[in-house]
Amino acid sequence: MDRGKEILKKRKSNRERLKKEAPDLYDGFALVTQVPENVETNEVRKAVEAANAEWAAAFNRGDAVAVAALYTEGAALMPPDREMVRGRQGIQEFWQGAIQRGRQNAVLTTEEVQADGNTAYEIGRISLTVHAKDEAPKPIFSKYVVVWKRQAGGRWKLHVDVWNRTPTK
């Protein structure tokens, strides 16, 4: 049995013992100590990675409409050193501008996903290439956090998207 399952089994046993031996204490204890037993679910991670693959494919073919469709209607985009962008239309315009300025070859790498109900967060990295006029292509590396929201029908969409560049060495 792996260490995580072992800990969860022991917690469950301790909760059951407390519930049996001191039910009045258990009610208060249960409210402040509940931890989802499967915080990082494989299903959510797979859905996030699939959506990221769609995002990169749309971005790399220059389709800002398809990129924006992967965000919730009321999503917030928080680019570095810029004002926050709210709503799908604004997000589409932002990504269209990035594409027009020569950003391409985006690759997203998910490092961590944690989920609780209809909300999840992802920590990851993105690399892309800038092809500016009259300049050699330049790679850019960033790290990001995305808050995901499960929509009616079960699809996960980006709700808050924030990133900043990784320092070059």
Which candidate, 70, 91, 79, 159, places its Cα nearest to that of 126? 79
Is the pTM higher than 0.85?
no
| pLDDT tens, residue by residue, 66-92 | 999 999 999 999 999 999 999 999 999
The topology (CATH level 3) of 42-165 is: Nuclear Transport Factor 2; Chain: A, (3.10.450)
pLDDT digits (tens, 9 = 90+) for 9-52: 665 666 666 567 655 554 544 444 444 445 447 899 999 999 99
Tell me how far apart the alpha carbons of residues 55 and 124 are, in angstroms, rounded to a whole number.
14
Cβ neighbour number for residue 82 with a 10 Å cutoff: 9
Q: Are 125 and 142 in contact (CB under 8 A)?
A: yes
Boundaries of every domain in the chain: 3-33, 42-165
Other beta carbons less than 10 A from residue 122's beta carbon: 25
